[in-house]
Structure 1
């Protein structure tokens, strides 16, 4: 697959465009909002230069990537002779239905449609399609041009060969795809993140600690291990010679006690939202938002460089 279409050019779409262009692929960008589309082109170009500054891309590759980026003015122009489309439009079933119907008017039967949806179900989205077998979810973690994870989620009508093709495609591009055996709202990563976020808010609401200290407890402790290992391997090693079974036998009961007094909110209380927003203002006293973003990107690049070493 050499010709990549970006359908929906907001924050995620622009980052996807940066990623594909950095890999030497030809990228077309389309959004119904012409201003958003042009901003995405500029953002993608800027991201390529940032990748050079982060030593994740050569100047020559960045120049090639910038030359391979273009915007188009219609869905037909986007889809003509297109191999793969990464859709990142609004998280709304009705809007996606309209987009998918138009996609089928112009896309060849060999064109793969991958959605960036963070939580919607492909089975429902592909139900409006005449040829749904080539549609799947390929959900990135933000920002896609820096973070390797992509979650591949088939719908009930997605062909297994399409999942295999897209997985191979992303592996070749340096991504780390994971494949879900069945659909679930939020997929894997956001469900894990949702559980941590809820408890982070609960600790703040109960005045256990400040926003900064709750965040520090996460990133200065378990977060360092999570950069290398998932929770299962962490506890396998944490059990010593007895492994995971010993961890269950000796420490599992303690975790059961923690679970008993954790919050089980299914909606976020308004007062907690206000506490969280107010608490995060301390961060902006240290750096402004753009400075934090640049800091984040630099650290992400450095972490990946370390992890890529044998």
Structure 2
């Protein structure tokens, strides 16, 4: 699959464009908003320059990647003789329905349609298609051009062969795909993040600690382990010779007290929102947002370089 279509050229779409172009693929970019579409090339070029600065691309590879990207003026032009479409339009079922109907009218029968949706259900999205077997969720973690995770979520009508093809394709491109056996809103990673975020807000709202210290407790402790392994393997090792079973039998009971004491909000209280925004603004004064983003990207690149070492 050499011809890639980026449908929706905002932050995520532009990052996807950077990723695919850096792999040597031909990338077409389209957005119904002309301003967003024009800006996407600048964002994608900046992303690629960032990869050069991080020594993940050579200047020559960057120039080749830039030459592989082009803007197109219509959805029909985007879809003509396309192999793979990465859709990143607004998280709205009605808007996606309109886009998907047009995809089916203009794309080749062999083209695969992957959605970047962070939480919508593919079964509902693909219901407007006459040939839904080639559509699935391929949700990245931001920024897609740097973070390897991509969550593959088939709908009820997605063909198993489509999932297998996309999984192998992303593996070839250096991504780390995970496959959901069952659709759930938010997939895997965002549900885990939502659980941690809610408790982070609750700790702040209840005056337990500051924004900065709550974040530090995550990144200076669990976050270091999370870069290498997930919670199941962490607790398998935490159980020593007895493994996961021993951990659950001995330490697991204490977690019941934590869970009983935790908030179970289904909406964010106004007090928590105000404290989170105010606390984070004070925290951000150490650097500008662009400086924080550059700092994040440099650390992400270095962590991944270490993790790739045997």
TM-score range, shorter chain: over 0.9
3-state SS of 1:151 partner: strand
Alpha-carbon separation, structure 2, partners of 1:273 and 1:83: 43
Larger displacement relative to structure 2 (172-181 or 241-250) = 241-250
Q: Please name the residue that 1:30 is paired with.
A: 30
Q: Please name the residue that 2:217 is paired with.
A: 217
Q: Please name the residue that 1:100 is paired with.
A: 100
3-state SS of 1:136 partner: strand
Alpha-carbon separation, structure 2, partners of 1:284 and 1:211: 11
1:142 has 2:142 as partner: yes
Aligned length: 310
User: Contact conserved, 2:211 with 2:283, CA < 8 A, in 1?
Assistant: no
Alpha-carbon separation, structure 2, partners of 1:228 and 1:11: 27
Alpha-carbon separation, structure 2, partners of 1:151 and 1:140: 6
Q: Please name the residue that 1:205 is paired with.
A: 205
Alpha-carbon separation, structure 2, partners of 1:181 and 1:31: 32
Which aligned runs of 4 or more in structure 1 are off by greater than 4 angstroms?
A: none
Within a 5 Å distance, the mapping from 1:157-176 to structure 2 comes to: 157-176=157-176
Q: Please name the residue that 2:289 is paired with.
A: 289
**Can you list the C-alpha shifts for 1:210-255, whole angstroms capped at 9, x where unaligned?**
0000000000000000000000000000111111111011100111
Q: Please name the residue that 2:67 is paired with.
A: 67
**Can you list the C-alpha shifts for 1:2-22, whole angstroms capped at 9, x where unaligned?**
000000000000000000000
User: How far does residue 108 in structure 1 lie from its aligned partner after superposition?
Assistant: 0.9
1:88 has 2:88 as partner: yes
User: Aligned-residue CA RMSD in angstroms?
Assistant: 0.6
User: How far does residue 283 in structure 1 lie from its aligned partner after superposition?
Assistant: 2.1
Alpha-carbon separation, structure 1, partners of 2:151 and 2:95: 22
TM-score between both structures, scaled by the size of structure 2:
0.99
**Can you list the C-alpha shifts for 1:35-81, whole angstroms capped at 9, x where unaligned?**
10110011111111110110111222111100000000000100011
3-state SS of 1:286 partner: coil
Unmatched 5+ stretches in structure 2 = none
Unmatched 5+ stretches in structure 1 = none
User: How far does residue 182 in structure 1 lie from its aligned partner after superposition?
Assistant: 1.0
Alpha-carbon separation, structure 1, partners of 2:270 and 2:96: 30
Larger displacement relative to structure 2 (264-273 or 217-226) = 264-273
Q: Please name the residue that 1:186 is paired with.
A: 186
Q: Please name the residue that 1:131 is paired with.
A: 131
**Can you list the C-alpha shifts for 1:63-117, whole angstroms capped at 9, x where unaligned?**
1100000000000100011000000000000000010011111001101000000
Alpha-carbon separation, structure 1, partners of 2:99 and 2:263: 39
Q: Please name the residue that 1:114 is paired with.
A: 114
